[in-house]
Structure 1
Amino acid sequence: MYRLSPSFWLPALFLPLTAQAENATYQADPLVVTGSRYQASGWQLPFSVNRIDAEQATLGKPGVNLSEALGSVPGLVVQNRQNYAQDLQISSRGFGARSAFGIRGIKLLADGVPLSNPDGQGQAATFDLDTLERIEVLRGPFASVYGSNSGGVIQLFSRDGEGAPKVALDTSQAAYGTSRTRVSAEGGNDRAGFIINRSHFETDGYRDHSGAILDKTFAKLTLYPDDLSKLSLSFSELDQNDTQDPQGLTWSEVKTDRRSAAPNALLFNTRKTVDHRQLGLNYERSFVASTWQSTLYSGTRRVIQYQSIPVTAQVPPSNPTSLTHSGGVIDFERRFHGIGNRLIQSFNLGNSLLTVTTGLDYDYSRDDRKGYENFVGSALGVRGNLRRDERNEVTSLSPYLQTAWQLGKLDLQAGLRYSHIKFDVDDRFIVGNNLDDSGSVTYRELTPTLGVSYTLRQNLNIYASWGKGLETPTLNELSYSGPDNTFGFDLKPATSEQFEIGLKARVAEATNLQVALFQIDTDDELVVASASGGRNSFQNAAQTRRRGLELSLESHLSETLRANLAYTHIDATYSKDFTSRNQLVESGKHMPGIPANTLYGELAWQPVGWFSTAVEGLYRSKLYVEDSNTAKAAPSYALFNWQARFEQKVGAMTFNQVLRIDNLLDREYIGSVIVANDNGSPGPAGRYYEPGPERAWYVGAGVQYQFD
């Protein structure tokens, strides 16, 4: 008997609900700036952009990482590794799916400041969700207006301190020895505002050897020198010491003990320490028909990571004097800074409005990077002899021009950006048979974008957009991709061409519907060339095609009931044969790490002001884990979560309590995969799988005091 998949029947559950909203009051479209760079209704823009406000993103949730906030955005796949040493894995329409750690291929911004390095590698852990005002997520062709490595854009905005001063204290306890405490103060008036937030998080982790302690600090001062200008100063800090890394498991290890760590993770005590500090400044000045915006930032990042590279890979028995391997301990200190300036000018042309944005982005990072052996004699997981000493610099300079022309029901958008990214390596470890790997490589590309939207009816917009994109290799991908694990100066950037058509509709006045169809063709896609000794090298070997459908539905069913639905279907395949790790990968094979179907649904109910509850569900189809599609795919799964929140006001004090249960049905599932983590032998020995937690509870309580 044929069974309907959740991707069919779950959307059907929401259709009758939307019909009930006919008499509800329509909520105005929220304004967004991502994509156009000026405030505009997402309704009229010719591309896919979603806004998630703080209430939807954080209420009733732990507030630990972005995976809690982005489930309702179609096109995004957010995999929580349950491994704080490697951060989240986020992909947008397939961009970023191959990342083994951190986030790549997606531009991350916080208050205009990049959380991505100029090479495209980024991290989301530094942002503080406690101070969130909203998140804006852009997918499709217009993401390339943010430069190279922008397969999608996730932009986070912190709120400004305003109103009477208030202080707050929150604490929570959760499964697997998890706890979190937060203290904050904020307030402001028409001349200045401030926010100070400090949080402490610690966990034993769901899996063995996955404990973590994270301390975050965020401070922001907002000044209004006059009625036409605004100045914001912000400081963020992340201290993450000796975070344990359980690494990936083989499929047989998952079936035997899904909570175990990889044997070598215990043997070498794999762990990571991160110290990140960053200052940011934003200035905005309004004139009669124009706005000037400037962003300036600077910071440092120190990382010490102990890996499980085998001793024999670092010192081969056949050549014990070899010094070509960079070792099993990574130690680098990064200094980074940048500036972005833009002028937004509007021209009233009779019955039309032309808006022109011109800008220039400059980003720079310098890594003083060392590598050490991860052993001393027979002792493993300790710092040994120096094996790498180099300076890595990445410089990005990108001028751009964007125009938007509103002609009644017609909206035309165009963009042009020139990306110039230079990698420079100064090798200072030239010893024995380890030769000088110094050198540089520069990538240059002009990326145009075009879009048009048309209002067919008052409640229906259609649009189409096109654009070209650029994705450079990251420093880590370049580092081992040359001959004998040297720097891969010959690697080319991947270039893509994207098309998107869609519609945006208002159904029954209280329901917003967005549907998008897209196609992405990429040349010179980066894939794994070889994997040995704990290192992956990369090559430009593939052409790929990604076709898909995105659907999102937001409905205020009544004054007390709200529903959200997000569905994504994507067919991501290689469109040209290539050879990887001495194995032919034929055209038509699926790109790993990209599920064909993802479905998210949420139903939230707030019958009275002091109580709210919500249930959410997530379905994800199977994930291929390597290019040949021969290894065991991570199975599909469906999860349901529930939360309830209570609030009481007593004079100047507000109390709140939260109860949450994740994975209500106690399903066993693979939360994320590490693509091609098989040391060159795709198959059952590959350590691709990172299991997600079983049923887990969370309780929290907080108090806020507001001064008169």
Structure 2
Amino acid sequence: MPFDRRWSAPTATALGLILFTQQALAQAPIETPPVTVTGERPSRSLTVPSFDDARRDIERTPGGVGIVPAERIRDSRAVTVKDALDYVPGVFAQPKYGQEDARLSIRGSGLSRNFHLRGIRIMVDGVPMNLADGGADTQELDPLGVRYIEVFRGANGLQWGAASLGGAINYVSPTGRDAPRLLLRADGGSFGSAGGQVAVSRSLGPWDFWLSPTYSRSDGYRDHTARNYLRFNGNLGYRFGDNAETRFFAGVNHIRQKIPSSLSRSRTYSDPRSTDPSSFAKGTRRDIDSLRLSNRTTFRFGDDELTFSAWYHHKVLFHPLSFGIVDNVSDDGGGSVRWKGTGMIGGLKNEYVVGANLFTGVNVNKTYINSNGHRNGLMNHVDEHSTNIELYGENRIYLDPTVAIIVGAQFNRARRRLEDKFLSNGDDSGSKTFTSFNPKIGVLWQPRQDLQVFANLSRASEPPTFSELNPNANPGFANLKPQKSWTAEIGTRGKWRGIGFDVSLYRAWVRDELQLFVVPGSGDGGFALNADRTVHQGVELGLDATLFEGLATPAAGTKDKIDARLAYTFSDFRFRNDPVAGNNQIPGAPRHYLRAELRYSHPLGFWFGPNIEWVPQGYYVDNANTKAFRTRSYALFGARAGWTFENGLSVFLDARNLFNKTYVSNTNARPVATPVDQLYNPGEGRAVFVGLEFKW
């Protein structure tokens, strides 16, 4: 199906950049892509790749990917998933308040959900953090506990077994082989915010360890949004010679978060710090205590690697809401095996990855009457059982040193079974089994070391989560179909005259898109449905460049400079000839989203610069596209500054929303909105944060 004319300008822009880059470099000699060196130094971890190795590996993907080093997170306030991923094109991350219930969406995944995300595989050190039914909560992700974060948009997550519209995100921990021996951090600022981190690491012969507790608190910008987060992350590794290593990981979260109500549109823009009185009366909050344990063991055979993983995730959720208290205890676990290898086929270089994942889990889900934030009488009790078996493989064969053809596929069998233990309100018991086969084909052309052009076509299939299969709006096990999609993608990345660029264009044809609508305070818990046909298409553009050098210090090797970075995402998500919604836009995300920053850096160590977050056009909150209820456009101006000293000490200042703009950061969605619907969550007002960090 051809692109409609609404897409023509962004498409032409991105295609023009691709063609321009190719023409500009056409006369350059062809260089062979970098060759992986066999055998790493013993000081490096086998189970956790270094940042440089991870970057080289991810850049061989024929599609949209990104990698964020810790240094780009730690020089500002780092609390939310937005703080960590805001400059990754294609990622839309907007918290409701503080860190609670962020909408995390890639290529329009889970747009109707601004809680308990769906459509993205969230991993920590290569093992899933999602519950076995596919849902996940970003509150358990600590941006201060990473060495880097990998983002695989869409089908590019297949190399981890994921076959979803959104793809996969992998939070990767430091180890005792690459982290400072001691790290101390303290930060604080507006809204009574304060936090700190202590991290210690050692490498002692074959052993190494990294341990890091972090603490974060805030009174919150809005009423009833105070939070206290205490986290611990760590790992212990043992090296069996040069070619084998095992590593044990642990993560602990103690999260206490008060949550306000969403607001009506008029109240959002007139009184953004307020909340509904029921938030106080019902003691609404989300308290999480969780434990995550995992192991990765890697064996190296020349250039090949065999990795076994196992994990266990225990989570206790106490969640008073206006209609009742959600009280969950979940236990999830699984195992995986993954083989990465190289070889020759018919005289051609060949690289491949094959693997298998097994997820299983049970969520004991109870709902109580809410009596001033305390349990008072059981309203519902169901046990939710999930099992997933995934088999996947991806093969890359080089037709010559510059052109690779990639083929892959994933087979998934997912079973969802619900046992109703509280039959006085009807029997919701049921079970469903979903099977899918998801192929992929792609091409990667690398005419020189600093230029790549890629394309791929892939299928994804996503079974419903339990919050969709049993949302309490209607009795019984919901008769929902899995969400299915075909996505075509083209793009390019590389460097030209010092400008780093990353451009992807995609179009996804989606069938039975899953939408979940929750009505706060209604007592029904919400309802889910399958849309018929929808289309998700867009442009993802990232730029990173040094604009000027030697402005005040022209001497070679000591030049000051001005750097710029930009992440722009164009999103066009629409229904296709829907009997009710027609060709309306799918609500929940802006069509244009831009983050940009300039930074001046001096050889003495200080730096400063302005930044902007710009949404030039508001977005709809209902399928009916009611103009009266769409959000307003906004531009948020900020500034950051810091100084890195030679003794390991660094300081930063992070000023946000300098003009105190009132704006909507996150919304719920409806089939048809009304003036009284509380759908809107205001973003934070003017804020200033400062921090100090010491590394040794």
TM-score range, shorter-chain basis? 0.7 to 0.9
Distance (Å, rounded) in 2 between the aligned partners of 1:192 and 1:659: 37
For the residue of structure 1 that corresponds to 2:428, the secondary structure is coil
For the residue of structure 2 that corresponds to 1:266, the secondary structure is helix
Correspondence 1:131-530 to 2 at 5 A: 131-144=145-158, 146-149=161-164, 151-162=166-177, 166-189=181-204, 191-241=206-256, 243-309=257-323, 328-349=324-345, 351-375=347-371, 380-407=372-399, 408-431=401-424, 434-456=425-447, 459-480=450-471, 484-488=474-478, 490-508=479-497, 510-528=498-516
Partner of 1:314: none
For the residue of structure 2 that corresponds to 1:384, the secondary structure is strand
For the residue of structure 1 that corresponds to 2:253, the secondary structure is strand
Distance (Å, rounded) in 1 between the aligned partners of 2:349 and 2:121: 29
For the 8 Å contact 2:284–2:320, the answer to whether it is kept is yes
Shift of the 614–159 alpha-carbon distance from structure 1 to 2, 3 Å rule, reads farther
Shift of the 545–33 alpha-carbon distance from structure 1 to 2, 3 Å rule, reads farther
Shift of the 229–260 alpha-carbon distance from structure 1 to 2, 3 Å rule, reads same
Specify the code of the residue in structure 1 equivalent to 2:403: L
Partner of 2:657: 663
For the 8 Å contact 2:66–2:152, the answer to whether it is kept is yes
1:590 maps to 2:579: no
Shift of the 543–165 alpha-carbon distance from structure 1 to 2, 3 Å rule, reads closer
Deviation at 1:435?
2.7
Shift of the 428–140 alpha-carbon distance from structure 1 to 2, 3 Å rule, reads closer
Correspondence 1:528-677 to 2 at 5 A: 528=516, 532-557=522-547, 558=549, 560-578=561-579, 584-585=580-581, 587-620=582-615, 621-630=617-626, 631-650=628-647, 654-676=648-670
For the residue of structure 2 that corresponds to 1:125, the secondary structure is helix
Deviation at 1:167?
2.7
Count of aligned residue pairs for this structure pair? 641
Please, which runs of 5 or more residues in structure 1 have no aligned partner? 1-6, 23-27, 310-327, 579-583
For the 8 Å contact 1:107–1:150, the answer to whether it is kept is no
Deviation at 1:271?
1.3
Deviation at 1:81?
1.4
Distance (Å, rounded) in 2 between the aligned partners of 1:528 and 1:223: 45
Deviation at 1:589?
0.7
Distance (Å, rounded) in 1 between the aligned partners of 2:518 and 2:218: 35
For the residue of structure 2 that corresponds to 1:455, the secondary structure is strand
For the residue of structure 1 that corresponds to 2:492, the secondary structure is strand
For the 8 Å contact 1:565–1:602, the answer to whether it is kept is yes
Distance (Å, rounded) in 2 between the aligned partners of 1:700 and 1:142: 36
1:103 maps to 2:117: yes
Shift of the 614–275 alpha-carbon distance from structure 1 to 2, 3 Å rule, reads same
For the 8 Å contact 1:104–1:121, the answer to whether it is kept is yes
For the residue of structure 2 that corresponds to 1:397, the secondary structure is strand
Shift of the 533–357 alpha-carbon distance from structure 1 to 2, 3 Å rule, reads same
Partner of 2:29: none
Shift of the 105–163 alpha-carbon distance from structure 1 to 2, 3 Å rule, reads closer
For the 8 Å contact 2:269–2:663, the answer to whether it is kept is no
Specify the code of the residue in structure 2 equivalent to 1:495: K
Identity of aligned residues (%): 25
For the 8 Å contact 1:33–1:39, the answer to whether it is kept is no
Distance (Å, rounded) in 2 between the aligned partners of 1:410 and 1:681: 49
Distance (Å, rounded) in 2 between the aligned partners of 1:370 and 1:403: 45
Moved more, 113-122 or 278-287: 113-122
For the 8 Å contact 1:144–1:469, the answer to whether it is kept is no
Shift of the 142–219 alpha-carbon distance from structure 1 to 2, 3 Å rule, reads closer
Distance (Å, rounded) in 2 between the aligned partners of 1:185 and 1:527: 44
Deviation at 1:58?
2.1
Distance (Å, rounded) in 2 between the aligned partners of 1:498 and 1:245: 37
Deviation at 1:234?
1.0
Shift of the 248–235 alpha-carbon distance from structure 1 to 2, 3 Å rule, reads same
Shift of the 627–63 alpha-carbon distance from structure 1 to 2, 3 Å rule, reads same
Distance (Å, rounded) in 2 between the aligned partners of 1:83 and 1:674: 17
1:126 maps to 2:143: no
Deviation at 1:667?
1.5
Deviation at 1:307?
0.7
For the residue of structure 2 that corresponds to 1:634, the secondary structure is coil
Distance (Å, rounded) in 2 between the aligned partners of 1:71 and 1:480: 31
For the 8 Å contact 2:165–2:485, the answer to whether it is kept is no
Distance (Å, rounded) in 2 between the aligned partners of 1:476 and 1:164: 39
Distance (Å, rounded) in 2 between the aligned partners of 1:337 and 1:605: 47
Partner of 1:4: none
For the 8 Å contact 1:645–1:657, the answer to whether it is kept is yes
For the residue of structure 2 that corresponds to 1:485, the secondary structure is coil
For the residue of structure 1 that corresponds to 2:480, the secondary structure is coil
Distance (Å, rounded) in 2 between the aligned partners of 1:338 and 1:329: 29
For the residue of structure 1 that corresponds to 2:467, the secondary structure is helix
Specify the code of the residue in structure 2 equivalent to 1:87: D
For the residue of structure 1 that corresponds to 2:674, the secondary structure is coil
Distance (Å, rounded) in 1 between the aligned partners of 2:287 and 2:571: 36
Distance (Å, rounded) in 2 between the aligned partners of 1:468 and 1:448: 6
Deviation at 1:692?
0.9
Partner of 2:556: none
For the 8 Å contact 1:81–1:88, the answer to whether it is kept is yes
Partner of 1:48: 64
For the 8 Å contact 2:111–2:589, the answer to whether it is kept is yes
For the 8 Å contact 1:306–1:374, the answer to whether it is kept is yes
Distance (Å, rounded) in 2 between the aligned partners of 1:657 and 1:286: 41
Deviation at 1:664?
2.0
For the residue of structure 1 that corresponds to 2:625, the secondary structure is coil
Distance (Å, rounded) in 2 between the aligned partners of 1:29 and 1:179: 44
* TM-score, normalisation: structure 1: 0.85
Specify the code of the residue in structure 2 equivalent to 1:75: G
Please, which runs of 5 or more residues in structure 2 have no aligned partner? 1-9, 26-32, 37-47, 550-558
